[in-house]
Amino acid sequence: MRLKITLSYDGSAFYGFQHQKNENTAFKTVAGSLEQSLKHLNIHTQVVGSGRTDRGVHALAQVIHLDVPPLWQTQLEKLQYLLNRTLLPHIHIKHISPVTQDFHARFSAKKRLYRYVLYDGMCQPFYANYALHVKPLDVQKLHTLAQVFTGFHNFEFFKKQGGGTTKNERTLFRTGAYRYKNFIVLYFFGDAFLRSQIRMMSDFLLKVCYKERRLEDLVAQINREKRISTALLPPQGLYLSRIYY
């Protein structure tokens, strides 16, 4: 029986979502922690996520699928309770539902929403893992700049090398930024994203905001005329917010 599970996690506690070679307690991952908890329930299965979040990246509603023995069909609430008891405090199972065998957490997904939470006020140590501290920022300028990424593009120059052999073409339906209380939220809503694409785009946007790069440089890299900056914004403050099916 195949299950769809929606979960949230504190990425600062993990070495990313995907398994690492020779994974141990010092380099634990979200997927590894989930599979270890499942083994305690005598469920030996592989966890498949909607996407691989980097080390330090959080999730508000990551989606995974996995196959379990049929006996769990009538015990999904119990399964959720038992998993949450062993996964706390850094992972929380929000919902479990049965799905058809052709459901795939990654390939069935249609759209994804990511948010980068920034903070440009006085330094707050307690925000360190959950909001990226930046210099004072013109949010309206950031919002306007972010919209240059909307539409269908080949993002070959906005991905970290070694990210697999998937196609580089992606569609971003909506991008922008806004202030929320004491924070700045930069958002990207698209069909899918390449490895570290959001961190690279965000870093370039901030560079233009701070006049370290020109808008023309950003456009040239989007158009694949030249690769100007491949730096990544730190992962703190980046959230996988929602997956749409």
CATH of the domain at 130: 3.30.70.660
* Average pLDDT score over residue span 34-55: 94
Q: Record the tokens describing residue 126, joined without a space.
A: 């307690």
Tell me if 103 sits within 8 A of 1, measured CB to CB: no
User: pLDDT at residue 85 above 90?
Assistant: yes
Q: Tens of pLDDT along 95-150?
A: 999 999 999 999 999 999 999 999 999 889 999 999 999 999 999 999 999 999 99
Domain boundary among 98, 123, 147: 98
In terms of domains, do 201 and 238 share one?
yes
In terms of domains, do 75 and 130 share one?
no
Q: Which of 54, 67, 102, 203 is catalytic?
A: 54
Active site (annotated) includes residue 67? no
Does the annotation place 116 within a ligand binding site? no
In terms of domains, do 73 and 174 share one?
no
In terms of domains, do 118 and 75 share one?
no
For 60, other C-beta atoms within 10 Å of its C-beta total 15
In terms of domains, do 155 and 204 share one?
yes
Number of domains in the chain: 2
Higher local confidence (pLDDT), 131 or 164: 131
Tell me if 162 sits within 8 A of 195, measured CB to CB: yes
pTM for this structure?
Answer: 0.94
Q: Tens of pLDDT along 188-206?
A: 999 999 999 999 999 999 9
CA dist 10 and 130 (Å) reads: 9
Domain with 85, as residue range(s), is 2-98
Domain boundary among 69, 98, 127: 98
pLDDT for res 20? 72
